[in-house]
Amino acid sequence: MTATHDTPAPIAARLVDPQAYAEALQLQEDFRWLRSNLPVSRATVPGFDPFWVITKHADIGDISRQHAIFHNGERAPVLADRLAQATVRGLTGRQHLVRSLVQMDAPDHPKYRALTQAWFTHANLKKLEQRIRSIARSHVEHMLACAGQCDFVRDVVANYPLRVIMEILGVPPEDEPRMLVLTQQLFGSQDPELNRSRQLSLDTEQLALQLHTVVADFSDYFRRLTQARRAAPRDDVATVIANGLIDGRPIDDFEAMSYYIIIATAGHDTTSSSTAGAMWALCEQPGELAKLRANPDLIPGLVEEAMRWTVPVQHFMRTAMQDYVLRDVTLRAGDWLMLCYLSGNRDEEVFAAPFEFRSDRNPNKHISFGTGAHACLGQHLARMEMRILFEELIPRLAAVELAGTPRRSASNFVSGPKTLPIRFVSS
Ligand code: HEM
């Protein structure tokens, strides 16, 4: 490797900085520069193991699809500095805080994924359409009752995907507020307004300790749920996990807890972010709302474009298991790679006018759900929730605009609008 493959230091520093994702514009510029000048570059940031920065849509796809060469579980599948990784090892004696699908590779990954896959297919989800529509309708009614002004995140979307996934999982409504808080603490732990201790700058060791406590709280809760579902099975995902067999044996406790946590958490901050991202775009481009009202068949297009635009999951990491040549760069066995979905979704080689929001973008090959063996398990559910919400909302929304400055959460992993003040006219 030559020095020419080094990520410029200011860009490398921003790639790890949660605040840079809250501000986003500079980062978009950084990615634009990397795509055209150094599509594969090596970031060296004090305190972090060096990692390759993968910015092109095609490369993110190729790496994701070659899961025998690029592993998830070998090292942290989400960016973490050395101290955080050491703290996790010290606390748990393991490399990962949890061992969910995200931390697994073959041969375990396909076995564990197969347990719940059937639940998240189109065909199965269709059965839930009416139930999801009634949850969506109640959130739309709540918004319309807000006298023409609300915070779309707090008042409408923060709880909507949560209610859907809790119903699928089998968590009763009275426990949902607790689940919401725990998820926000898990994903928003880099954001002082969302983390458990509300401290402005937690050091990385404190962050890992805090995450460990959040995971312990989740596990306490789900341990009780497992016992309940083993004693009295129901038609829900908790029953599938609690009674799941891997190689003919009951699923291990640690993997079961991890499974609940990924299902409970992966689906709501992400889906509420892309739903809020869609509304933010409608506020900034009033022509889009008029187009959608005139032609509701564009709503699935709005959903896809909001996924591309918002990019709720900023990155996942992979580890090369053998040497591999990517463009003009040789990646070595053991190297760590950051798949930059935000960059892939603005790739000029794939998207015409990538910095414009277009509900009628066709084709729209965004990479917000990843691809390959680890492609998002809940992607059909996320799409369905958003489509239904906008099918209910758009006919009743004559006009909408921003009523303040929206803010994104500070996180280099799951980040999206955390406040979206809007003023609207209903019809
Ligand atoms: C807008 C909403 C969502 C976005 C943007 C999103 C994004 C992602 C991404 C980028 C991945 C990793 C893909 C890869 O490594 O190639 C992923 C994996 C996953 N997602 Fe989602 N997700 C969303 C909603 C959901 C929902 C509703 C669920 C509910 C079950 C869910 C469950 C999962 C699970 C279990 C995985 C791990 C899959 C595996 O490793 O095999 N996600 N998601």
Give me the pLDDT at residue 205, please: 74
Atom of ligand 1 nearest to the CA of 371: 16
Residue nearest to atom 1 of ligand 1 (CA): 271
> Distance between CA atoms of 326 and 69, rounded to whole angstroms?
13
203 pLDDT exceeds 80?
A: no
CA–centroid distance, 377 to ligand 1, in Å, is 5
Residue nearest to atom 16 of ligand 1 (CA): 370
Rounded to a whole number, what is the distance in angstroms from the first to the last CA of the chain?
A: 61
Residue nearest to atom 43 of ligand 1 (CA): 376
Ligand 1 neighbourhood includes 377 CB (under 6 angstroms): yes
Atom of ligand 1 nearest to the CA of 113: 41
CA–centroid distance, 409 to ligand 1, in Å, is 19
Q: What is the pLDDT of residues 277-301, one digit of tens each?
A: 999 999 999 899 999 999 999 999 9
| Residue of 59, 100, 369, 387 to test ligand 1 pocket, by largest number of atoms within 8 Å of CB | 369
Q: What is the pLDDT of residues 33-62, one digit of tens each?
A: 999 999 999 999 999 999 999 999 999 999
Ligand 1 neighbourhood includes 113 CB (under 6 angstroms): yes
C-alpha distance from residue 362 to each of 61, 132, 298, 374, 375 (Å): 19, 27, 11, 25, 21
Give me the pLDDT at residue 212, please: 85
Q: Say which residues have a Cβ less than 8 Å from residue 8's Cβ, sequence separation at least 6.
A: none
- Which residues share a beta bridge with 53? 41, 338
At residue 209 the predicted structure's pLDDT band, cuts being 50, 70 and 90, is confident
Mean of all residue pLDDT scores within the chain:
93
CA–centroid distance, 45 to ligand 1, in Å, is 28
Structure tokens at 392: 């209910």
CB of 365 within 8 A of CB of 72? no
DSSP sequence for 123-163? HHHHTTHHHHHHHHHHHHHHHHTTTTEEEIIIIIISSHHHH
> Distance between CA atoms of 139 and 133, rounded to whole angstroms?
10
Provide the CA 45 distance to its chain's centre, in angstroms.
24
Atom of ligand 1 nearest to the CA of 262: 35
Residue nearest to atom 32 of ligand 1 (CA): 378
> Distance between CA atoms of 101 and 78, rounded to whole angstroms?
13
Closest Cα to residue 97, out of 318, 251, 225, 258?
Answer: 258
Q: What is the pLDDT of residues 77-108, one digit of tens each?
A: 999 999 888 888 888 888 898 899 999 999 99
Ligand 1 neighbourhood includes 381 CB (under 6 angstroms): yes
Give me the pLDDT at residue 200, please: 47
Ligand 1 neighbourhood includes 368 CB (under 6 angstroms): yes
Ligand 1 neighbourhood includes 73 CB (under 6 angstroms): no
Ligand 1 neighbourhood includes 271 CB (under 6 angstroms): yes
For strand 51-54 and strand 336-340, is the pairing parallel, antiparallel, or unpaired?
A: parallel
Give me the pLDDT at residue 87, please: 85
Cα dihedral sign, 354-356-360-366? positive
> Distance between CA atoms of 340 and 335, rounded to whole angstroms?
16
72 pLDDT exceeds 50?
A: yes
Tell me what the mean pLDDT of segment 231-248 comes to. 95
At residue 327 the predicted structure's pLDDT band, cuts being 50, 70 and 90, is very high
Tell me what the mean pLDDT of segment 395-420 comes to. 96
188 pLDDT exceeds 90?
A: no
CB of 134 within 8 A of CB of 389? no
Ligand 1 neighbourhood includes 274 CB (under 6 angstroms): yes
CA–centroid distance, 8 to ligand 1, in Å, is 30
Coil, helix or strand at residue 330:
strand
Single-letter amino acid code for the residue at 154: R
| Residue of 376, 379, 387 to test ligand 1 pocket, by largest number of atoms within 8 Å of CB | 376
Low-confidence winner among 191-195, 317-321, 405-409 (lowest mean pLDDT): 191-195
Give me the pLDDT at residue 311, please: 97
At residue 2 the predicted structure's pLDDT band, cuts being 50, 70 and 90, is very low
Atom of ligand 1 nearest to the CA of 385: 27
Single-letter amino acid code for the residue at 298: L
> Distance between CA atoms of 82 and 254, rounded to whole angstroms?
24
CB of 377 within 8 A of CB of 116? yes
CA–centroid distance, 112 to ligand 1, in Å, is 15
Give me the pLDDT at residue 1, please: 44
For strand 149-151 and strand 407-408, is the pairing parallel, antiparallel, or unpaired?
A: unpaired
> Distance between CA atoms of 112 and 239, rounded to whole angstroms?
14
Ligand 1 neighbourhood includes 267 CB (under 6 angstroms): yes
Structure tokens at 233: 């099975």
CA–centroid distance, 6 to ligand 1, in Å, is 30
> Distance between CA atoms of 324 and 297, rounded to whole angstroms?
44
169 pLDDT exceeds 50?
A: yes
Ligand 1 neighbourhood includes 228 CB (under 6 angstroms): no
Closest Cα to residue 38, out of 3, 79, 83, 7?
Answer: 7
> Distance between CA atoms of 34 and 41, rounded to whole angstroms?
8
CA–centroid distance, 185 to ligand 1, in Å, is 18
Q: Residue 311: left (phi > 0), alpha (psi -120 to 50), or beta?
A: left
- Which residues share a beta bridge with 70? 320
> Distance between CA atoms of 222 and 215, rounded to whole angstroms?
10
CA–centroid distance, 12 to ligand 1, in Å, is 26
Residue nearest to atom 30 of ligand 1 (CA): 378
Single-letter amino acid code for the residue at 47: G
